[in-house]
Amino acid sequence: MKILTVIGARPQFIKASVISRALSSMHSNVQEVLVHTGQHYDANMSDVFFTELGIPCPTHNLGIGGGTHGENTGRMLEKLEALMLLERPDRVLVYGDTDSTLAGSLAASKLHIPVAHVEAGLRSFNRKMPEEINRVLTDHLSSLLFAPTDRACSNLIKEGVAKEAIHRTGDVMYDVALLFKEHAKKPDWFDQAELRKDAFALCTIHRAENTDSPQNLKEILKGLDSENVKFVLPLHPRTRLKLQKIGAPLPSNVHVTEPVGYLEMMWLEANSKFIVTDSGGVQKEAYFHRKFCITLREETEWMELVEHQVNTLVGADSKRISDAIDGDTSFQSDAELYGDGLSAVRISKILTGDFL
């Protein structure tokens, strides 16, 4: 059996690490062809994850990135179609909600190759988010839908997806957190920055709705400005460019770093007081490390975190951000929301079930 896996962004590298590992260890007659679209082309946003997580080097690297959503998706679609005609895979495996995911799904479905989607069924119900369009379309192009939660399964059923195509597998991100937690790495610069464990908050900002809006960025920075909290902000290349463009100064309590690898990010998450982010993945990672999360969005795909009061939505509103930072940021939940750490094994078995 041949599986062609399409990845292109940091969260996908992380998820692929455990599923690729499961496929290679459990099934000797399965060949995985790994295709990196190049959507994250910065070395700190891409190459380091392959090294740290033990992901096999991609069979193909398309080198596509840096354009608009339409440009990226169109170029990826063209190159992926050619690759699929060359490789003739039995299934195409895609992850999450990126342009790479949509392009892979479109190319495969046009060639009548079955598509399997990891993290199916997630919904923010905000169609202004490019990610929402990508994930909805991918779900309706897929024949195997690996849903991490009961809510994700329910979303798919409500949209008319056939029940037999939906598999409640748990969340592969939890698998990764368990697998690599003992390998978390303190960044080299941490001590020199006069930071202390459990005495700083971690912040990430990268979502287009925030970075493309000067008003939102300014509101977020204003909200982060606090006499009581020291922030560590690994700065996404997109965010850095936007901040330079609008000339917005960072508050003095915000320590800016270059993007960090997954193992360093895991250490920062585990040793922070709490986390402020607009990332979907980091919201869950905060939960895995039992850290309260303040989310710089008006909605989330992970509503169960809000319902369990370990996540609060504050948008890009400086007062709401400030109030949340100065409020109760303790983590108070013992719920297990995302499975048992065996999601990748389940997905591997389902993926290969018809061929073994």
Class of the CATH domain delimited by 182-326:
alpha beta
Looking at residue 97, its amino acid is D
Judge: domain 2-171+339-352, CATH 3.40.50.2000: yes
Structure token pair of residue 117: 């989607």
Average pLDDT across each block of 10 residues of the chain; the chain has 356 residues. List them in order.
93 90 88 89 59 81 87 96 98 96 98 98 93 97 97 98 97 94 94 94 94 95 96 90 90 95 94 97 96 97 96 98 97 93 96 74
**pLDDT score, position 186:** 96
* Displacement of CA 88 from its chain's centroid (Å): 28
Q: Judge contact between 205 and 211, C-beta under 8 A.
A: yes
Burial class from Cβ neighbours inside 10 Å (0-12, 13-18, 19+) for residue 304 reads middle
DSSP designation for 265 = H
Catalytic site positions: 206
Q: Kindly provide the b/e burial profile for residues 240-251, where b requires at least 16 CB atoms within 10 angstroms of the residue's own CB.
A: eebbeeeeeeee
**pLDDT score, position 55:** 76
Question: Taking the domains of the chain in order of start, what are their residue ranges?
Answer: 2-171+339-352, 182-326
**pLDDT score, position 208:** 87
> 66: phi > 0 → left, psi -120 to 50 → alpha, else beta; which?
left
**pLDDT score, position 261:** 87
Nearest to 114 by CA among 135, 131, 138, 97: 138
* DSSP assignment of 85-139: HHH--SEEEEETTSHHHHHHHHHHHHTT--EEEETTT-----TTSHHHHHHHHHH
**pLDDT score, position 48:** 66
**pLDDT score, position 42:** 56
**pLDDT score, position 43:** 54
Looking at residue 67, its amino acid is G
CB neighbourhood size of 338 (10 A):
22
Q: Examine domains 2-171+339-352 and 182-326 and report if their fold is the same.
A: yes
